[in-house]
Amino acid sequence: MKNTIKYYVVVAFLLLHFFATANNNQVQPQQENKGSLSINDSLKWSERMALSIMKRHPQAYQIDEQSTPKWDYVHGLVLTSFEKLYKKTGNKQYYDYIKNYTDVLIDEKGTIKTYKFDDYNIDMVTAGRILFNLYETTKEPRYLEAMKLLRKQLAEQPRTKEGGFWHKKRYPNQMWLDGLYMGEPFYAQYTSVFEEGKQLEDVAKQFELMQQNATDKKTGLLYHAWDESKLMPWANKETGTSPNFWSRSIGWYAMALVDVLDYFPKNDPKQKELVCYLNKIAKALAKSQDASGLWYQVTDKGGKEGNYLESSGSSMFAYALAKGVNKGYLPKKFKEVANKAFDGLTTQLIKVDADGEVTITQACAVAGLGGEPYRDGSYEYYVNERKKDNDPKATGAFILAALELNR
What's the length of the chain?
407
Contact at 8 Å (CB) between 312 and 397?
yes
Q: What's the sign of the alpha-carbon dihedral 209, 214, 219, 221?
A: negative
Distance of alpha carbon 127 from alpha carbon 99, whole angstroms: 12
The end-to-end CA distance of the chain, in Å, is 74
- Count of CB atoms situated within 10 Å of the CB of 135: 18
Residue 119 falls in the annotated catalytic set: no
> Choosing from 72, 123, 178, 227, which is the catalytic residue?
178
Do 403 and 46 form a contact (C-beta atoms < 8 A)? yes
Q: Helix 200-214 vs helix 247-260: angle between axes, to the nearest 10 degrees?
A: 150
- What values do phi and psi take at 165, rounded to 5? -65, 130
SS (H, E, C) the chain: CHHHHHHHHHHHHHHHHHHHHHHHHCCCCHHHHCCCCCCCCCCCHHHHHHHHHHHHCCCHHHHHHCCCCCCCHHHHHHHHHHHHHHHHHCCHHHHHHHHHHHHHHECCCCCECCCCHHHCCHHHHHHHHHHHHHHHHHCCHHHHHHHHHHHHHHHHCCECCCCCECCCCCCCCEEEHHHHHHHHHHHHHHHHHHCCCCCHHHHHHHHHHHHHHHECCCCCCECCEEECCCCCCCCCCCCCECCCCEHHHHHHHHHHHHHHHHHCCCCCHHHHHHHHHHHHHHHHHHHHCCCCCCCECECCCCCCCCCCECHHHHHHHHHHHHHHHHCCCCCCHHHHHHHHHHHHHHHHHEEECCCCCEEECCEECCCCCECCCCECCCHHHHHHCCEECCCHHHHHHHHHHHHHHCC
Cα 371 from chain centroid (whole Å) = 21
Which residues carry out catalysis? Answer: 178
